[in-house]
Amino acid sequence: MSAHHKNTELIKTEAKRLGFLSCGISKAEFLEEEAPRLEKWLQNNMNGEMQYMENHFDKRLDPTKLVEGSKSVISLLLNYYPEEKQVDDTYKISKYAYGQDYHHVIKTKLRQLQEFISEEIGEVNGRAFVDSAPVLDKAWAAKSGLGWIGKNSNLLTQQVGSFYFIAELIIDLELEYDSRVTDHCGTCTACLDACPTQAIVAPYVVDGSKCISYFTIELKEELPSEFHGKFDDWMFGCDVCQDVCPWNRFSKPHQEPLFNPKPELLSMTKKDWEEITEEVFRKVFQKSAVKRTKFSGLTRNIDFLKK
Of the candidates 75, 14, 90, 16, the one whose C-alpha atom is nearest the C-alpha of residue 275 is: 90
Residue 144 CA to its chain's centroid (Å): 16
Q: Is 131 a catalytic residue?
A: yes
Q: Do the beta carbons of residue 46 and residue 209 sit within 8 Å?
A: yes
- For residues 52 and 135, give the distance between their C-alpha atoms in angstroms, rounded to a whole number: 12
Q: What is the DSSP letter of 24?
A: E
Sign of CA dihedral 91, 96, 100, 103: negative
Q: Which of 62, 131, 232, 272 is catalytic?
A: 131
Alpha-helical (H) ranges within the chain are 3-17, 34-43, 57-61, 102-120, 137-143, 190-194, 212-213, 240-243, 263-267, 270-274, 278-284, 294-306
H or E element that contains 129: strand 126-129
Q: Which residues are catalytic?
A: 131
